């Protein structure tokens, strides 16, 4: 059984409560329930934090926890965080970065992601489906 971590960064705990035009009307709990229902043979580890250090610590522990892959939406930290990039580089776990919105259609500061450099792929603009496609891809690796 594959162990896959689904990590979400700052403010994503507010999904479904504000800005539905950008991020849809479903909650983070809805997303986690949908993934668990769609992939019954995956051992998911779900984690959300509004704190950069908590995300760094979680990533560095994932290898010890037998994690096979990471689906990561670092949210605004994608555009700012060298610490998260370094944590992913150190963890050496296949990671797919997901953004709910198409960051390339938005402000220029959202076009660059530090964390994407340490990811095997990036999915942006496909809503919650992006997380599903990312999990499917990680399952198909090796």
Which positions lie near ligand CA2, rule CB under 6 A? Answer: 11-12, 14-15, 17-19, 23, 73, 75-76, 99-101, 103, 110
Cα–Cα distance measured from residue 108 to residue 68, given in angstroms and rounded to the nearest whole number: 33
Q: Write down the H helix ranges in the chain.
A: 20-23, 28-38, 52-62, 82-91, 129-140
In the bound complex, what is the minimum distance in angstroms from residue 74's beta carbon to ligand CA2? 7
As to burial, measured by CB atoms within 10 angstroms (0-12 exposed, 13-18 middle, 19+ buried), residue 100 is buried
Closest CA to 2 of 107, 130, 136: 136
Cβ nearer to ligand CA2, comparing 72 with 93: 72
**Max intra-chain CA distance, the chain:** 40
Cβ nearer to ligand CA2, comparing 77 with 87: 77
In the bound complex, what is the minimum distance in angstroms from residue 52's beta carbon to ligand CA2? 13
Cα–Cα distance measured from residue 102 to residue 93, given in angstroms and rounded to the nearest whole number: 25
99 is catalytic: yes
Cβ nearer to ligand CA2, comparing 17 with 129: 17
137 is catalytic: no
Q: Which position among 23, 77, 114, 131 bears the catalytic label?
A: 23
Cβ nearer to ligand CA2, comparing 76 with 120: 76
In the bound complex, what is the minimum distance in angstroms from residue 20's beta carbon to ligand CA2? 8
Residues recognised as catalytic: 23, 99
């Amino acid at each position: 059984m594959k162990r896959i971590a689904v990590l979400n960064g700052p403010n994503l705990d507010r999904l479904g409560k504000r800005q539905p035009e950008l991020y849809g009307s479903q909650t983070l709990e809805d997303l986690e329930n949908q993934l668990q229902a769609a992939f019954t043979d995956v051992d998911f580890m779900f984690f959300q934090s509004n704190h950069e250090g908590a995300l760094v610590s979680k990533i560095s522990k994932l290898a010890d926890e037998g994690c096979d892959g990471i689906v990561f939406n670092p949210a605004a930290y994608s555009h700012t965080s060298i610490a998260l990039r370094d944590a992913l580089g150190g963890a050496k776990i296949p990671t797919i970065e997901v953004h709910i919105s198409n960051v390339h259609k938005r402000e220029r500061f959202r076009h660059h992601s530090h964390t994407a450099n340490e990811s095997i792929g990036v999915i942006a603009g496909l809503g919650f489906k992006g997380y599903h496609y990312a999990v499917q891809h990680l399952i198909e690796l090796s």
